[in-house]
Structure 1
Amino acid sequence: MNTHQNRFSVQSKVSALIESRLFQSFITTVIVLNAISIGLETYAFFKPYQKVFFIVDCLFLTIFVIELSLKLFVQKQHFFKNNWNVFDFVIVAGSLILYNTNFVSVLRIFRVLRVLRTITSVPSLRRIVNALFMAIPTISSVIILMSIIFYVYAVIGTMFFSAIAPEYFGNLQLSLLTLFQTFTLESWASGIFRPIFAESGWSWLYFVSFIIIATFIMINLIVGEIVNNAQKISQEIEDETGELKEDTKEIKELRAEVKELKALLETYITQNEKKD
């Protein structure tokens, strides 16, 4: 019985440790420093310090292993129900298993993605990411619609402009690549549109209509959906905060009533004692 109680006590202490703000800040700092160290290794003038970077990398990896071990000790089977925990486990376990192979350099780069975990510690970033995830179904529908638009315009462009600009519209693949460049608005006027417009006067209708539909309307649909979801999340937070404020107000009122009742009881008892 005492052994079970001691184990439960240790587990509670470890749980309090890993959930504390200080521990979370420490891990976040280590993740950021790890990302910075991996980035610094890409510079040539840091090559003489490879041994130092190796020791630092081992230190970071040890900290990550300790963190995961503590979480596994506390959360047990519930550990893998959290997607961030699964992500951390795959990256760290892969780094340990493949440490002496050629794949470890790739995994070490993927460990930079652990910086994404800082999202969970910043409420505003977490709200934006949640809004983005909520918008995924709508974004998927918009992407499908954009794919259809790209295909239709690619076919039209190949049919009408393949002879004028074969380097841009010579076949369907080139047309799709050209439309993607136009979609990004990168040198589309001087590089693509002007030479074709000199040969075909109506080509402006083709390019302008594509930019309006694909770039302006579709992108605004995606941005609008994300903004709407962010507003919904903010509204839900405000509603929850309002409910908490109401509950706090009711608790204060109940405390005031209890104090009044206590005062009345004390007065009543004092009066009875005087009568006796």
Structure 2
Amino acid sequence: MDKLHKIVMEKRFNRFITGLIIVNAILIGLETIPTIYSNYYSLFFIADIAILVIFTLEVLLKITVLRGKFFKNSWNIFDFVIVLGSVILYSTPYVSVLRIFRVLRVFRTITTVPTLRRIVAALFMAIPTISSVLLIMAIIFYVYAVLGTSFYRDISPEYFGDIFLSSVTLFQVFTLESWASGIFRPIFEQSPSSWLYFVSFIVITTFIMINLIVGEIVNNAQKLSENIEEETGEIKEEISEMKELRNEINELKQILLEKRN
């Protein structure tokens, strides 16, 4: 069991699984090209089964080694659900669902790369703040949609005819996709003061609010990095203390041997 534990937890094993996940992702991408997939269908089929078998064995080995501890880790549960779903749905008629699970295997790179896990953890930590920012953005969208409908309904009814059209238009402006040539300039020709409306909306939503979300995620990622550094520092201190204790024990052994002699 100790040997199996060393094999499963070894860096080489994890690197092999990571490489296999990348290969699986490339194969899934190639399958979307009809000419390649039709010419090499049998190879794709064999490769997919082989990869799924290896993933299944990996999960089974980890469960055997870690036992109950395996399901205490959320990333392990994530792996287990993806692999189990792929195995269960493989021989069923739910082909579309199976494809979803096969694509989800790509997300397993998150579980094998520590930096990706850190980013995802920081994202989840930022959810409470993001939800608050999104609520503020929803209020801003609503206020600007009402104002836009009131000001520009007659000038541009296709964009600001009612509050729903205004909301969709503002979302396009928020993404900065063709907002100037398609929306702003025709309205600006008839209402020169409209630049205040559009510019203020872009500054508030696109620049300020998005920066708040990004800043929160970056702060959480930094906190996680600091926590990891503290943990590694404590581990290093414990290792150095253990080395000192070993040296002291060896010195005591030598003194006792000298006294006996």
TM over 0.5: yes
Percent identity between the two aligned chains: 64
Report matched runs for 1:1-276 at 5 Å.
9=1, 12-46=2-36, 47-254=38-245, 269=259
Q: CA offset at residue 19 of structure 1?
A: 1.8
Find the aligned partners of 2:67 and 2:244 in 1 and give their Cα distance: 42
Q: Against the structure 1 CA distance between its residues 239 and 76, is the aligned structure 2 distance closer, same or farther, given a 3 Å change threshold?
A: closer
Q: CA offset at residue 179 of structure 1?
A: 0.8
Q: CA offset at residue 244 of structure 1?
A: 3.5
- The superposition leaves residues 178-232 of structure 1 with CA deviations (integer Å, 9 ceiling, x where unpaired) of 1111111111111111111111122111111111111111011111111111221
Conserved? CA contact 1:38–1:109, under 8 Å: no
Moved more, 78-87 or 231-240: 78-87
- The superposition leaves residues 51-89 of structure 1 with CA deviations (integer Å, 9 ceiling, x where unpaired) of 221121111122222222223333444443333333333
Find the aligned partners of 1:169 and 1:30 in 2 and give their Cα distance: 51
Moved more, 162-171 or 212-221: 162-171
Find the aligned partners of 1:161 and 1:101 in 2 and give their Cα distance: 54
Number of aligned residues: 260
Aligned-partner residue type, residue 29 of structure 1: G
Moved more, 25-34 or 114-123: 114-123
CA RMSD of superposed structures (Å): 2.5
Moved more, 102-111 or 46-55: 102-111
Find the aligned partners of 1:203 and 1:102 in 2 and give their Cα distance: 56
Find the aligned partners of 2:33 and 2:68 in 1 and give their Cα distance: 42
Conserved? CA contact 1:95–1:104, under 8 Å: no
Q: Against the structure 1 CA distance between its residues 132 and 23, is the aligned structure 2 distance closer, same or farther, given a 3 Å change threshold?
A: same
Conserved? CA contact 2:122–2:221, under 8 Å: yes
TM-score computed with the length of structure 1 as normaliser: 0.82
Q: Against the structure 1 CA distance between its residues 29 and 215, is the aligned structure 2 distance closer, same or farther, given a 3 Å change threshold?
A: same
Conserved? CA contact 1:61–1:92, under 8 Å: yes
Q: Against the structure 1 CA distance between its residues 256 and 146, is the aligned structure 2 distance closer, same or farther, given a 3 Å change threshold?
A: same
Q: CA offset at residue 233 of structure 1?
A: 1.6
Find the aligned partners of 2:13 and 2:147 in 1 and give their Cα distance: 59
Aligned-partner residue type, residue 244 of structure 1: I
Aligned residue for 1:42, secondary structure, equals: coil
Aligned-partner residue type, residue 19 of structure 2: T
Find the aligned partners of 1:14 and 1:262 in 2 and give their Cα distance: 35
Larger radius of gyration: 1
Find the aligned partners of 2:115 and 2:219 in 1 and give their Cα distance: 15
Find the aligned partners of 1:254 and 1:72 in 2 and give their Cα distance: 35
Conserved? CA contact 1:31–1:112, under 8 Å: no
Conserved? CA contact 2:122–2:217, under 8 Å: yes
Aligned residue for 1:24, secondary structure, equals: helix
Conserved? CA contact 1:91–1:107, under 8 Å: no
Conserved? CA contact 2:82–2:104, under 8 Å: no
Q: Against the structure 1 CA distance between its residues 63 and 181, is the aligned structure 2 distance closer, same or farther, given a 3 Å change threshold?
A: same
Find the aligned partners of 1:162 and 1:265 in 2 and give their Cα distance: 97
Q: Against the structure 1 CA distance between its residues 53 and 262, is the aligned structure 2 distance closer, same or farther, given a 3 Å change threshold?
A: closer
- The superposition leaves residues 97-128 of structure 1 with CA deviations (integer Å, 9 ceiling, x where unpaired) of 33344422432343222232223333322222
Q: CA offset at residue 133 of structure 1?
A: 1.6
Q: Against the structure 1 CA distance between its residues 91 and 204, is the aligned structure 2 distance closer, same or farther, given a 3 Å change threshold?
A: same
Aligned residue for 2:40, secondary structure, equals: helix
Moved more, 40-49 or 66-75: 66-75
